[in-house]
Structure 1
Amino acid sequence: MFRSLFARFLAVLLLATSLPALAEEAPDAQIKRVSDEVLTIVRQDKSIQAGDTKKTLDLIDAKVLPNFDFTRMTSLALGRDWRSATPAQRAALTAEFRTLLVRSYANALTKFKDYQIAVKPLKLAAGDSDVVVRTTVRKAGSSPDTVDYSLEKKDGQWKVYDVAVAGVSLITSYRDSFGQEVKAHGVDGLLASLKTKNAQNAAGNSKK
C-alpha cells in the first residue's frame, strides 16, 4: 500500500526538482514554483499521460537525476552495511538503487493531471543546510496526503535525499529488506537482487 502511494508522489517530486532553481531560492519556494509548472506540463503532455515510458525516462535522466543525492540515499538505505561495502560495491549499489527508483515510479506520472499540491511555508534560518519541506497532495474528491521532502544543501544546491509519505520514509521502507538481503547473501547478493529487479522492470516497460 505504501509503495503504491509513494509511487505517485515520488513521480511528482521527480518532476518537481527537474527545473533549475532560481539563485538563492528557498527550498519550499522552489518546490512550490516548480510543482506548479510541472503539473501544467503533465496536464498538457499527452505522451506522458498515455504512458510513454521512453519519453518519461529520457526526461528524468536528462533533468531530474542531478537534483538527487543518490549516494546518500543508498547509504541511508543500507545503514551500517554501507560501511562494510567496498568503493566499487557502493558505486554499483548506488547506480542500481537509482535505476530501481526511477524505473519503478516513472509510469506514475500519468496519474498526476488531477492532483493539486500545497507547499507549507518553511522557516529557513541563516546557515540551514538540512531541511524538510512539508506538502499536502490532494486528488479531487479524496482526502489530502502528507508528503515531506528532506533536502540537504551541497555546494549551493538543494538536493533531495529522502521522501516521507504519511510519515513513512522511502529510506526506512527499503532499509529492512536491504538489511535482510545483506544478512542472508551479503552485499553482492543485494546487488544481484537489485540488478534482477531492474532487468524485470526494464522488460516490463519494453512491452508497453
Structure 2
Amino acid sequence: MKKFLLVILSLMMSMSIFAAEAPDVFVKKIANEVFEILKTDKDLRSGNKEKAYKITEEKILPYFNFDRISKLVLGKAYPSATKEEQEAFKKEFRTMLVKTYGSALLRFKDQTLNYKPARFEPTDEEVLIKTEVLQPGAPPLPIDYMLEKDGNSWKVFDIIIEGVSLVTNYRGQFGNEIRQNGIASLITKLAEKNANYDKTANK
C-alpha cells in the first residue's frame, strides 16, 4: 500500500510539472501576440506613443517579476532601503521601462522573431530562452529571456540584449547614484525623468 501511494504521489507531481506551460511556448505566445499587434495596429504604425505605452503595460510587463528585478537591480541597497523606498523605486522603475520599451516598440516595422532551440528539464525552476530579431538589411538582434517558474506559468526576471543584461546594466547606472547621493535621490531622479520623458526622448 505504501509503495502504491508513493507511485500515485510521483505521478501527481509529474502531472503538475508537465501541466505547467513550457517556457519556450510561453515566450512564443507572448512575443507572437505583441508582434501581431505591431503589424496590424494603425495607431502604433503611425507612432502613437500612448498606445505603445498601453500595449507595454498590458501585454508585456505583467509577465515580469518586478519584486525580484528590483532586488537584483538595487543589489545591496535593497535590504537597507525602507519599505516605502522599495515600493517607490519599483513604481518609478516600472514606469521608466514602460516608456523605454513602449518607445522601442514604435521602431519595430517589418522585423520577425526567430526562436533558438531551448534546452531545459521539466523540473527546472529557471530557464534561459534565446531569440533573435531578424531585421531587413541589418544583422540579427539577439534577445534572451531569463525566466523563473511561477506556479503553472513563468515570469521574466532579466532580459539580455546583445549580450547586455538589463539587470546588470541598470545596477551599474543606479549604483553610482545610490553611492553618491542615496536611494531617495535615485527615486527622485527617476520620477523626474519619467515626468519629462516624452519632452526629451526625441532630443
Q: TM-score, normalised by structure 1?
A: 0.81
State the identity %: 39
Q: Distance in 1 between matches of 2:148 and 2:122?
A: 14
Q: For the residues of structure 1 that align with 2:138 and 2:198, how far apart are their CA atoms?
A: 32
Mapped pair 1:120 → 2:84 = no
Mapped to 1, the partners of 2:35 and 2:109 lie a distance apart of: 6
From the CA coordinates, give the structure whose radius of gyration is larger. 2
In structure 1, how many angstroms separate the alpha carbons of the residues matched to 2:30 and 2:115?
Answer: 11
Residues paired across the two proteins, number: 184
Q: Is the 8 A contact 2:64 2:155 kept in 1?
A: yes
The structure-2 alpha-carbon separation of the partners of 1:156 and 1:33, relative to structure 1 and needing over 3 Å to count, comes to: closer
Q: Deviations over 1:51-86 (max 9, x none)?
A: 112222223333333211112111111111112111
Amino acid at match of 1:161: F
CA gap of 1:96–1:63, structure 2 versus 1, over 3 A, is same
Partner of 2:162: 166
Out of 171, 178, 183, which is 1:182 matched to?
178
Residue 140 of structure 2 aligns with an amino acid whose one-letter code is P
- 1:28–1:120: 8 Å Cα contact kept in structure 2? no
Structure 2 unaligned segments of length 5 or more: list them: 1-18
Aligned to 2:88: 92
Identify the residue that residue 143 of structure 1 maps to in structure 2.
139
Q: CA RMSD, aligned part only?
A: 1.9
Which letter maps to 1:35? Answer: A
CA drift at 1:159: 0.6
Asked if the contact 1:31–1:119 (Cα under 8 Å) also holds between the matched residues in 2, the reply is no
TM-score by length of 2: 0.83
- Paired position in structure 2 for 1:41: 37
Equivalent residue, structure 1, for 2:28: 32
Note closer, same or farther for the CA distance 1:142–1:63 as it changes in structure 2 (3 Å cut): closer
Q: Which residue of 2 aligns with 1:194?
A: 190
